Amino acid sequence: MTDQKSSRTPKDTHYANLRRQFRDQKAGSVGKGPVGKGPAGKPQRPQRPATDATPVPEGLIRLYGLHTVRAALDNPARQIRRMLVTRNALDRLEIADVGALPFAVEIVEPRAIDRETGSEAVHQGVMIEARPLKTHSLKALQDSSLLLILDQVTDPHNVGAIMRSAVAFGAGAIITTARHSPQESGVLAKAASGALELIPHIEVRNLADAIGELHDLGFVTIGLDSEGPLELEQTMTPGRIALVLGAEGKGLRQKTRETVSHLARLDMPGAIKSLNVSNAAAISLYAAQRFLAAGSQAA
């Protein structure tokens, strides 16, 4: 009978160690041996334990990150109640006179902000507590020629990235549904990298009715769909354009598909025929902005 232990190859021993490491980590072991080493036997950096954020005061939100906070400071509509900031971040924000700010400022160590935001937040040494911005109405769109509408897009990272693209390409506003859309938060604002303060945000209860109102205001509404019958460029007309993008995974709802002026696809010659909603938003905004700019120059 063969001795299993003596017949092990180095490869067998390596995988046995990996299995033991997995069991020990799952059980919370901190003993010696392979625990804490990667497949090549190199020590791994210890993971910083995640900490829960402290509760946010009622009626306020927490925003963090240098770009996010700088944009909030520059926005006269943003009502800030409190700031926690490290000395290094204070220098980078270029605030000349802290005492002149109309809210409380505490100069702290980074771990103090960790306790407020949770250790997973990339706060870059600054956090503010502020009131959410007021949403706008469709009546505020009289001078806009390019809009972006989100049909129940729920991921705050995606919505933040979409806001950033909307500002970059000159969209007049972003319209979302009151339900099944993320509220203002540190995660959304960080992904927006300051854009949250720079673009009007409109919430509507009934998206189909809102699209109908946009038609009355002279907008052509174009729903992005990977199986749309026309390419995006074929659906654009001079004047006013509102791009409509659907939720991650399921896309546009049936009622939205029936209400928009056109369903269109992005022409993608590669093997993949669909994109993340934030990428699709950026590409379609670029195409629409170029189309509208060319039309205004021709006129």
Mean pLDDT, rounded, for 116-138: 90
Domain boundaries, the chain: 61-130, 138-298
CATH of domain 61-130: 3.30.1330.30
Between 51-60, 114-123, 153-162, the lowest mean confidence (pLDDT) is in: 51-60
Mean pLDDT, rounded, for 48-71: 82
Q: For the chain, what is the mean pLDDT?
A: 84
The span from the CA of 119 to the CA of 53, in Å, is 8
191, 49, 44, 189: which is closest to 119 by C-alpha? 49
The span from the CA of 215 to the CA of 104, in Å, is 46
Give the pair of three-digit tokens for residue 50.
């995640």
Mean pLDDT, rounded, for 209-234: 94
The span from the CA of 266 to the CA of 276, in Å, is 12
Give residue 143's pLDDT band: very low, low, confident or very high (50, 70, 90).
confident
**Residue with the two structure tokens 């509404």:** 221
Per DSSP, 162 falls in state H
The span from the CA of 258 to the CA of 37, in Å, is 56
pLDDT for 18-40, tens place per residue?
Answer: 555 555 544 443 333 333 444 44
Coil, strand, or helix at residue 239? coil
pLDDT the model gives residue 241: 97
Tell me whether the CATH fold assigned to 61-130 matches the one assigned to 138-298. no
**Residue with the two structure tokens 């991650």:** 248
Cα dihedral 101, 107, 110, 113 in deg (nearest 10): -60
Statement: 138-298 belongs to CATH 3.40.1280.10: yes
Mean pLDDT, rounded, for 226-233: 92
The residue type found at 285 is: L
Check: CB of residue 247 under 8 Å from CB of residue 159. no
Mean pLDDT, rounded, for 109-119: 90
